[in-house]
Amino acid sequence: MTPPRNSTAIRDVASVLHPYTDARAHQKNGPLVITRGEGVRVFDDQGKSYIETVAGLWCAALGFHNERLVQAATKQMRQLPFYHGFTGRTHEPQVDLAEMLLERAPVPMSKVFFANSGSEANDSAIKMIWYYNNAVGRPQKKKIISRLKGYHGVTIASASLTGLPYNHKFFDLPIAGILHTGTPHHYHNARPGESEEAFATRLAEELDAMIVAEGPETVAAFFAEPVMGAGGVIIPPATYFEKIQAVLKKHDVLLVADEVICGFGRTGEYWGSQSLGMRPDILTCAKALSSSYLPISAVMVNERVFEGLADGSAGLGTFGHGFTYSGHPVAAAVAVETLKIYDEIDIVGHVKRVAPTMQDGLRALAGHPLVGEVRGMGLIGAVELVADKATHANFDPALKIAPRLVKIAESHGLILRSLPNDSIAFSPPLVITEAEITDMVTRFGAALDELAVTLRRESLAAV
């Protein structure tokens, strides 16, 4: 049935340029219109419910309706709906949140800077690193290394860190001074017979060689997600961060942990850094910081970095960076309430209890003829579809196999997220129950079987 002329879908096509969307295809196909949420489910404008398998964008940790967060925002809107942090001003929600983050940090941290998104947090971290090295008399030490398939945002600088082609092509990125080292994905990148430990050793040696070739006096920092998210939910091989951090220490290179996806319990510990043995100098976080009910992000810096920033600001008269909405009182109040809820419901303990149901359920699909690798930890995982299980060869990207599965899954009441290499991500709201996980995996298995039948009919897969 053709939607009414004034429908949200038609108005959307006429007026909205969507992020991460094929604009031409959108003109033809239109949007999925979501009208409300409840728990781990969202509902479209026809009343159909879907389990949101990626919590929106890895972010709605407390699900899609939490009255306490609504009330926290309402109360703060009535008391102080806006104030800024420029020129030494402050307000209680900002201070409360900074203290709470420092108390919960995976390693000792000194100060917290607030922004509005993960992209802004990582962009701010880049500027802080450059500012710091200028302030301490190392003006050449500016190059930053991230990893192929890493994801750190979409501002000009943070998109440069991001190691994915579609974030660079047509945008004239990456900018100068941003380098990319290898992806720690054993399934695709290990040599024949190479163990995880040997693979990690080789990656560390490659990083060391890159720093030496560039000149250690020019390399300032290394950015890494504990678990790569948008690049495919890639779990680093055993001993990886231990060996990488030894290289960074050798060359006095700062480590930035991008906890935008992994923070606040996702990996089975409060921080992904704790799950993977990272000891960062700078930590960025966002998304689950407020369960994404309002935009807010944070950059935590250790004492060494703060002292450099402070000395630089004393010499110049100011630290010339910040946003109108840095530490916005309403967003900060919601984030404070979010962290309180995490403590009260023991979010990490809950994740540890229910995660085996998801990880075991997904791994049970490993024998499916379309599935190459199942990977994950805590409540984050991925199922990668392959054309050849023996060689790990992926399908031709032009076939858009994973996007086809995403569409099929909608008919099964699931909203999925496809990633590079036809990987399907799973990162449900952290409050999901074991019964809901079982339902989610069952529906996904049914959608996967339907895709297999379709591909067999089209002679695209021998399944």
CATH label of the domain that carries residue 367:
3.90.1150.10
Q: What is the pLDDT of residue 6?
A: 64
Q: What is the pLDDT of residue 461?
A: 65
Name the strand (E) or helix (H) holding 418.
strand 417-419
Cβ 440 vs Cβ 434: under 8 Å? no
| pLDDT per residue as tens digits for the range 361-382 | 999 999 999 999 999 999 999 9
pLDDT higher than threshold 90 for residue 38: yes
| In-domain check, residue 2 | no
Query: CA 270, CA 28: separation in Å to the nearest integer?
Result: 43
Q: What is the pLDDT of residue 459?
A: 82
> If you ran DSSP here, which 8-state letter would residue 25 be given?
H
| In-domain check, residue 180 | yes
256 and 401 belong to one structural domain: no
Q: Which of 288, 313, 345 is the last residue of a domain?
A: 345
Cβ 35 vs Cβ 49: under 8 Å? no
Structural domain that includes position 123: 68-345
386 and 432 belong to one structural domain: yes
| pLDDT per residue as tens digits for the range 84-112 | 999 999 999 999 999 999 999 999 999 99
| In-domain check, residue 23 | no
Mean pLDDT of the chain: 97
133 and 169 belong to one structural domain: yes
| In-domain check, residue 325 | yes
Give the chain's domain count: 2
Q: Specify the pTM.
A: 0.96
| pLDDT per residue as tens digits for the range 387-413 | 999 999 999 999 999 999 999 999 999
pLDDT higher than threshold 50 for residue 1: no
Residue 174: asked if its preceding bond is cis (omega within 30°), the reply is yes
Strands 282-285 and 254-258: parallel
DSSP for 154-171 reads: SSHHHHHHS--GGGTTTT
How confident is residue 40, by pLDDT bands cut at 50, 70 and 90? Answer: very high
**Terminal C-alpha separation, the chain:** 34
Cβ 125 vs Cβ 220: under 8 Å? no
Q: Which of 328, 345, 362 is the last residue of a domain?
A: 345
**Average pLDDT in the 230-248 region?**
98
Secondary structure tally for the chain: helices H, strands E: 16, 15
318 and 181 belong to one structural domain: yes
| In-domain check, residue 462 | no
| pLDDT per residue as tens digits for the range 64-79 | 999 999 999 999 999 9
Please give the structure tokens belonging to residue 387.
């054309």
Cβ 144 vs Cβ 222: under 8 Å? yes
pLDDT higher than threshold 60 for residue 2: no
302 and 276 belong to one structural domain: yes
341 and 356 belong to one structural domain: no
| pLDDT per residue as tens digits for the range 149-170 | 999 999 999 999 999 999 999 9
**Average pLDDT in the 122-132 region?**
98
| In-domain check, residue 54 | yes
Q: What is the pLDDT of residue 218?
A: 98
CB atoms within 10 A of CB 15: 7
**Average pLDDT in the 119-133 region?**
98
**Burial status of residue 125 (CB atoms within 10 A of its CB: 0-12, 13-18, 19 or more):** buried
Query: CA 17, CA 15: separation in Å to the nearest integer?
Result: 7
We report the CATH number of the domain holding residue 250 as 3.40.640.10
360 and 370 belong to one structural domain: yes
Name the strand (E) or helix (H) holding 133.
helix 118-135
Query: CA 361, CA 345: separation in Å to the nearest integer?
Result: 24
| In-domain check, residue 106 | yes
Edge-to-edge strand order for the sheet containing 254-258? 111-115, 297-301, 282-285, 254-258, 219-224, 143-147, 178-181
**Average pLDDT in the 235-251 region?**
98
Query: CA 291, CA 337: separation in Å to the nearest integer?
Result: 10
pLDDT higher than threshold 60 for residue 463: no
Question: Amino acid identity of 17?
Answer: L
Radius of gyration of the chain (CA): 22
361 and 371 belong to one structural domain: yes
Q: Which of 345, 366, 383 is the last residue of a domain?
A: 345
60 and 78 belong to one structural domain: no
**Nearest to 49, CA basis, from 330, 422, 413, 399:** 413
269 and 354 belong to one structural domain: no
Q: At a CB cut-off of 8 Å and minimum separation 6, what does 370 contact?
A: 385, 386, 448, 451, 452, 455, 461, 463
How confident is residue 458, by pLDDT bands cut at 50, 70 and 90? Answer: confident
Residue 273, sorted as left (phi over 0), alpha (psi -120 to 50) or beta, turns out to be alpha
Query: CA 226, CA 202: separation in Å to the nearest integer?
Result: 19
Coil, helix or strand at residue 29: helix
| In-domain check, residue 19 | no
**Average pLDDT in the 345-357 region?**
98
Cβ 297 vs Cβ 113: under 8 Å? no
Q: What is the pLDDT of residue 460?
A: 77
